[in-house]
Structure 1
Amino acid sequence: MLVNGEFDITKSALNRGAGSEKHKEFYEAAQILGITEAEMLDRCCINIAMKCPESLDDIVNLVTKKLSE
């Protein structure tokens, strides 16, 4: 679970973040949930790692490749 709270509020926060301007996604979602931007990013990453480990592997591989260039 991303946050302890009502599903509709969490969904609304994620939708608002997805629709916000570039580089403001986590900030906008965090505002609705009453957490910091850093906490929002941490919670999203944790959820991806737990629920979609194959996606996390792809992200780690991409970042590793870019860092080694």
Structure 2
Amino acid sequence: MLQVNLLPGAVNEIMASVAESSCLTKSDCYGLMASILDESTTEEERRSVDRLLRSVVRGKVQVVPQK
């Protein structure tokens, strides 16, 4: 099975970056995937990821290859 390690505070960093640029990079997407797969992710972080993904679906945030 694939072992995924998330850096502490990564979800908050991604959220801050997206709030500033309205863009989500592919590497940010992998960070979000890692946070979902990480059992130690807090409920608050999971809700943040959910909000961010809803913003992508609604078109408020764009997924880009790189910044």
Please give the TM-score of this superposition, normalised by the length of structure 2.
0.33
Ranked by relative contact order (alpha carbons within 8 Å, sequence separation 6 or more), the top structure is 2
Higher Rg: 1
Higher strand share: 2
Structure 1 length normalisation: TM-score?
0.32
